[in-house]
């Protein structure tokens, strides 16, 4: 497994500190983020999943705790829209350059407006996909928000 991804390259270029955490990825896990948290022995609320969605037909990225669901209404409001829905897998993979299960908010092929759930601020460190299946990175919430130019907002149902 390579430890270099477009996401890790982006963070390094920005001079943002992070640590890598490889784990045994289970493609059959019903919820990949929860499986990653369990494999690494970390709190699922501290492990954040990257979801690609659309608000009023425009692509957006949301970073939310692995043990929560996104509120489509709150997501749409966060991006000043009326309605939102999850992006289809092929569209998410084409837009980000990553495979589902390994999508990182960092270093995506096309820069997409991003928001991070406000609960990230409860932790000194959060875990987010580094850009490949079986590899998370840990980062401070403020550094993640700075790298992504993303606000902290209430996104969960």
pLDDT digits (tens, 9 = 90+) for 5-63: 999 999 999 999 999 999 988 888 878 788 888 889 999 999 999 999 999 999 999 99
For the chain, how many structural domains are there in total? Answer: 1
The answer to the question of residue 62 being in a domain is yes
The predicted model gives 139-154 an average pLDDT of 98
Statement: the pTM of the whole predicted model exceeds 0.85? yes
Domain at 14, CATH number: 3.90.960.10
pLDDT digits (tens, 9 = 90+) for 65-87: 999 999 999 999 999 999 999 99
Model confidence at 2, pLDDT cuts 50, 70, 90, reads: low
DSSP per position, the chain: --S--HHHHHHHHHT---EEEE----TT-SSHHHHHHHHHT--GGGEEEEEEEEETTEEEEEEEETTS-B-HHHHHHHTT-S-EEEPPHHHHHHHHSS-TTS--STT-SS---EEEEGGGGG-S-EEEEEEETTEEEEE-HHHHHHHHT--EE--B-
Range of the domain at 43: 6-153
């Amino acid at each position: 497994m390579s430890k270099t991804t477009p996401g890790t390259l982006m963070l390094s270029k920005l001079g943002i500190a992070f640590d890598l955490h490889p784990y045994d990825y289970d493609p059959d896990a019903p919820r990949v983020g929860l499986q990653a948290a369990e494999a690494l022995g970390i709190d699922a609320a501290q492990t954040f999943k990257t979801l690609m969605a659309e608000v009023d037909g425009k692509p957006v990225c949301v970073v939310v705790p692995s043990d929560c669901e996104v509120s489509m209404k709150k997501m749409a409001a966060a991006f000043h829209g009326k309605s939102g829905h999850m992006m289809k897998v092929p569209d998410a993979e084409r837009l980000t350059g990553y495979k589902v299960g390994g999508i990182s908010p960092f270093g995506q092929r096309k820069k997409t407006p991003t928001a991070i759930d406000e609960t990230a601020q409860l932790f000194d460190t959060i875990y987010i996909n580094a850009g490949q299946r079986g590899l998370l990175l840990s980062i401070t919430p403020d550094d993640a928000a700075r790298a992504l130019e993303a606000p902290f907002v209430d996104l969960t149902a």
